[in-house]
Amino acid sequence: MTSAIFVGDALGLDFLNSIATPLDTPVDWIKDGEGLLDWVGQARLAPPEALETMREQALPGELDRVADQARRLREWFRGFVREHKGRPLAAQDLAQLEPLNRLLERDEIFARIAPILADKDLPGRNEIPFQLQTTRKWRTPEALLLPIGEALARFVCTEDFSVVKACEGPACTLLFVDHTRGHRRRWCSMAQCGNRAKQAAHRHRVKAHHD
């Protein structure tokens, strides 16, 4: 599987950007169960051993069905973001997020004591060898939806929707949070749509000059 796109500056938007047209052909990184496992792994939303266990133990077609649920979640949340981007969220918007809260209610998160790996560059920082680590139970492939739901919820609760933008590239569908100073970001990336726009503007100037 090709590398997924992570240009949203927020994992919740990167999930929406898991379907995109990086060149000329649309690519859906979550088109099937294997794609979902791969995207969740690239996003570091689940430990590799949990993903491998699901790959080995899932029933035939089970992962594909969860991928279908993930795509439906993605498009539902895309609708919410597109409706509200460009302005701050308001208290009354909470009612629209009820499907996300219902997903979060299914989570099985627990805390456990885990070792701290010593950091050679920070002597004296790790006098206590343990840390309290939060993890979840990966009982079924549907559990893959839970860290995604958490990423969406964190995005809603921590980001300013007034600076959520769509790339200005004519054929680009990517979304991002504009964290730049002055909020002047226009493109998903300068290397992609930004350069295309520069080239198009240059061709237009050349043509206008010769006309």
Enumerate the domain spans of the chain. 11-184
Instruction: Output the pTM of the full model.
Output: 0.84
pLDDT exceeds 60 at position 122: no
Cβ atoms within 10 Å, residue 33: 22
pLDDT above 90 as % of the chain? 73
pLDDT exceeds 80 at position 67: yes
Mean pLDDT within 191-206:
59
pLDDT of res. 127: 80
DSSP state of 67: H
pLDDT exceeds 50 at position 55: yes
User: What does the alpha-carbon distance between residue 152 and residue 10 come to, in Å, rounded to a whole number?
Assistant: 9
pLDDT exceeds 90 at position 178: yes
CATH class of 11-184: mainly alpha
Q: Among 16-25, 101-110, 127-136, 191-200, name the one with the lowest average pLDDT.
A: 191-200
pLDDT of res. 92: 96
User: What does the alpha-carbon distance between residue 156 and residue 116 come to, in Å, rounded to a whole number?
Assistant: 31
pLDDT of res. 171: 80
pLDDT of res. 30: 97
pLDDT tens-digit series, residues 125-162: 558 889 999 999 999 999 999 999 999 999 999 999 99
User: What does the alpha-carbon distance between residue 192 and residue 202 come to, in Å, rounded to a whole number?
Assistant: 16
- Residue 164 burial (C-beta neighbours within 10 Å; 0-12, 13-18, 19+): buried
Q: How far is CA 191 from CA 166, 182, 197, 203, in A?
A: 16, 21, 10, 18
